[in-house]
Structure 1
Amino acid sequence: MVNTDNSKLVMRLKQEVQGDILFDDFSRGRYSTDASIYQLMPVGIVIPASEDDVQIALQIAVEEGVPLLPRGSGTSQNGQAIGEALLIDSTKYLNQVIEFDKAARTICVQPGIVLDQLNQYLKPHGLFYPVDVSTANRATLGGMTGNNSCGARSIRYGNMVHNVSSVEALLADGTHAHFKSVNGPPEDNLAYQRLVQKMLELGQREASEIRSRFPKLLRRVGGYNIDELIKEEPNMGRLLVGS
């Protein structure tokens, strides 16, 4: 049964989003748990059929004052995939390989692709994605990025933050942005350019504080990797990994 307080939210989502909209008690109950010990009932679930759906759902959530939470397969043990929010589940539709460059050994994927599926795609080319989490048959690349996942090979190959070159994401106002190395081709996006400039100025101003106090750990999942801001070649995509 739909909460009457969310009736406008449900109506707008069903009218404007092409993907699946789930607000029934059974679906919300299924999405209230993950691999952790916690349980939090979500407001509802959007299963976007396209990137446009994600942007529309974000805009509606902002206008209706509802928090938004992206979710992968829910394999993390610390409750990152649950919350009293509108969940965005990308596993059903947004799970494809977008672009692959064998020579450069780079691949662009949607957030819902599962690690084992990615490695199955790469295997005929003699390649693999080295962040080998134990839940590889379920964990999505989007969730792994948000969680800065690692694995048994992390000492040799690094964590997600060492294996992500860029992230395409939406800002809070729904603006699309391509977070990447600041030394790459400039983005034709004024909002993104202003954001990057502010972040670089912040890094320059607080460089000594970041060097002295930011934890020097191999894996961090407690927020933005602000130490990226003081590197020779800051990467805004890696700033987001683990956040």
Structure 2
Amino acid sequence: MQARVNWAFAEICDRAANVAEVQAAFMREIRDLGFTHAACASHVDPLKPPAEAVMMVDYPQAWLERFSAKNYATRDPVFRAARRQTLPFQWSDQNFRRGLAPDQLRILNEAAEAGLADGITIPIHAPDALPASCSLVIGADGVDPLNAQKATWYGVYAHECARRLRLADLPAKPQLSPRERECVQLLGQGKDDGAMAIILGLSEHTVHNIVRRAMHKYGVVSRVQAFVRALKDGQIRLEDVAT
């Protein structure tokens, strides 16, 4: 039997003005389905997320503080499994637990003590986005399999809506001119002003000023930073630098 989703949820998320509205709608839906807590979020420190991170979490505050203080985001077995696979998995499943290191099992045991004993995690792989997943905590009464199917759809949809809203809040990426891109690309190849001037047929003074303009656009103080930012923004490609 196929689960019937609540399409009104999608309409609410589409009309949401901010992530908080998406989160409120999502938490209402998953509680109606029998889940007790949820974390539809990027795989980062929940108390110190970067600006582009999606954070829709209602885990107990004490657990979030412990998770942050212990830097568990780097070792969480749920995060690691979600990054390696595409299908949902349950924390109590032996296929998931098999092969976990002692410190990873300890994290799961500590989570259980905090009221997060078992759950379902839906891996989320979005292009140009931080690794993420949607974890839904199962209460003592369990969850109907059809409700778990619905929750998977709701989690993925809510994350995408929240991700788009977060991106809209971020400052626009600086746009390099064609000449600035050429110079930054040559920086990645280890060229100095003199070498770039010869390659581009410009004076060293002109090349120096072009590089300075690119650095100014990114608000950075080193040439390496300018190169890395341009690479991360997609304005230059690694394969172009390697040629």
For Structure 1 versus Structure 2, the TM-score category normalised by the shorter chain is under 0.3
Higher helix share: 2
Q: Which has the higher contact order (CA 8 A, sep 6+)?
A: 2
TM-score by length of structure 2 reads: 0.23
Larger Rg over CA atoms: 2
